Amino acid sequence: MTRRELYYFIAHPEQVTLEEIAAAATHNGRTPPRLDLDDGRPPAKRGPLDITPAQRDFGFAPKVDHREGIRRMVEARLASRG
């Protein structure tokens, strides 16, 4: 393996908003997280992450999208609470 980049994005390349991430955390009837946004600042905008270098150098391929990843994270956190 030859590393060609200084850093890599390891993510699903789909562009999502903060609201979509919060919605993904509310599955199974859970209470949605409260978002406290600073209305005095413009919303951050960015395009999809470029994962091409990670695909090329490591063979990286995302297996789940943000919805499934957040669902798994929430389930794991709740399971660890006992």
Q: Measured over all CA atoms, what is the biggest interatomic distance in the chain, rounded to whole angstroms? A: 46
Asked whether the CA dihedral 22, 73, 66, 1 is positive or negative, the reply is: positive
Is 26 part of a structural domain of the chain? yes
Is 39 part of a structural domain of the chain? no
Residues 6+ positions from 2 with CB-CB distance below 8 Å = 57
* pLDDT reported for residue 1: 64
- Number of structural domains (the chain) is 1
- By the 8 A CB rule, do 5 and 49 touch? no
Give 31-57 pLDDT, tens digit per residue: 777 878 788 888 766 666 788 888 888
More confident of the two residues 80 and 9: 80
Indicate if the pLDDT at residue 73 is higher than 70.
yes
Please state the pTM of the whole predicted model. 0.59
Residues spanned by the domain of 69:
18-33+46-81
User: What single letter denotes the amino acid at residue 35?
Assistant: L
